[in-house]
Structure formats: structure tokens, C-alpha cells
Amino acid sequence: MEEGREKKDEGGGLDFSLRLSMFLRSLLIQAGWNYQRMQNIGFVFALAPALRRAWPEPEKLAAAAARHAATFNTQPYMAGFILGNIARMEERAAAEGGGAAAAERIMNVRQALASSLASIGDRIFWGRLRPLTAEVCMLVWLAAGMTCWIIPGDCSGIPAWVLFSGPAVSVIFYSAVALYMRWTGLAVGYACGGSSSCGLDAFDWSRLIKRLSLAGLVVCAACIAASLVLLLRPEAPSSAGFWARLAVPVLAFAAQRAARRAGKSMLFTVSAVFVFSVSGWAALGILNWMRGA
């Protein structure tokens, strides 16, 4: 390799410097979100380094940027697959002299990938990974001995590191997956640039979604089991308090399932769970007051 020549990244020949620049810019793809064209500003901003390299002439660069200022919307963590693909297509179009046909093909591929990857990304990040992240936070709290959020009590004596350990581990876990997908998507997209299915076969998405669902179920079961142990431990199985404590998670779970079957929104589901949980704790408090009176 000639001295001074830019290093090529192993992922499909994408320059490391260009990949890094697009990656950092893609972190702001939601910053310019608007109701008219959604993520178009962020997409153009992230794609700008590739456009400047492909179209050094100011007039052609402006035309390419204006073209990509059209409506664009996808799952933000999956945008790297589209950015890499379009960067490669713009390079090829510039090498071939451009033209209306090339521009139309670029926009068609961009739109097709945006819709497909949005569906996959929503199922992975919003539908699986985000709930799993919340479960990880609760599991870390339980492992660190923080139980006042389950059993009403004084949380003032809990060390700060325990309080922040759950959110910190959750944020690191979630961000690691999101950043990996952004970084890898750029190289994968560039390597298969020009294909309207680019990125759709990069991973076994169905298998990944199933594994995330299973992981969420396992972590949720662990949290429920630990919570039940903590809730039921102070009471004897024959006491009324035992059954009152047991009724809290059972009623909350029943409310959640009923809301989902009725097709209610997540806000309604969470509200129903909250109402039943508070009602259960109120009943438990009244029972304890009556026993102490």
C-alpha cells in the first residue's frame, strides 16, 4: 500500500476516517427531527462526508444534498446500514457521471431500506432490548441488596453506588448494543451498496429477536422470583399478610395481560399495573394497621 494512502477498513473497503466521521454524525440523526420530513436533516448531516468525497463540485454536491433532504425515517440505530449503502451508491453514481436514472435508483433503495430496517429495529430495540434493559436494572438492584423499591421502607441509608448501579449497568448494556449496530451497519451497508436488501440478510434477525425475547423472559422470571421471596419472607404462609403480599404481583400481572388482550396502549397497561399495585399495597397497609390497633 502506498504511503499516505488512507487505510481501508476491513468492512467492505470503507475508509476508516470516513466511517468514523459518518458514525459520529449518525449519533445526531434525531437532533433535527421534524414533522415535515422527519430525520432528513440528520440523514444529510451524517451522509455529508461521503457526499463531499463523491461530489467535489459545489453544484453537484448541492444537488445530491438536496436530493437526500427528502422525507426519511427509520429506526435510528439501524440507519448505519442505509448510510453505508447510499455512500457507496453515490460514489458509483459520481464515477458514472450521475444522471436522473442513478439518482432515482438511489432514492428508491433508500426508501426501501428505511422501511424494512425500521420494522426490524423497532422489534429489536423498542420491543425487546428496552424492556430487557429495565429488567437488568431491577436485577442489579436486587443483587446489590436494594429492596426498598419493592418493600416500602427507608431508602436513605442506601449507598449512592448501589442506587446508581442499576441505571449505569442498564445504560452501558443498551448503549453497547446500539453503538455496535451503528458502527457495523456502516461497513455492512458500504460492502453491499446498491442492493435494496442490503443489511436485511446481514444477521439472522429472526433468531436474534427470539433470543432477546427469551433473555427478557428469563431475566423477568428472575426478578419476579426474587421479588416474591422478599415479599413473602416476613409473613407466615398461614397469615393474611402472606396472601395480601402474594396478591400484589398476581393482580398486577392479571391487569397487564387483560390490558394487552384488550388492545390497550402501553400507557394504559402501565397505569393499570400501577393502580393494582398501589391498591394492593394500600390493602396491605390497612391490614397491618388493623392488626396493630
What is the model's pLDDT at position 1?
37
CA torsion through residues 73, 76, 29, 61, sign: negative
What is the model's pLDDT at position 291?
64
What is the model's pLDDT at position 6?
38
| DSSP state for residue 129 in the 8-state scheme | I
C-beta of residue 84 within 8 angstroms of C-beta of residue 46: no
CA separation for the pair 255, 274 (Å, rounded): 9
What is the model's pLDDT at position 21?
96
Answer yes or no: is pLDDT of 239 > 60. Answer: no
Answer yes or no: is pLDDT of 145 > 80. Answer: no
What is the model's pLDDT at position 119?
93
Instruction: Classify residue 77 by burial, with Cβ atoms within 10 Å: 0-12, 13-18, 19+.
Output: buried
Taking only the tens place, the pLDDT of each residue in 177-189 is: 999 999 999 999 9
What is the model's pLDDT at position 113?
93
CA separation for the pair 220, 170 (Å, rounded): 14
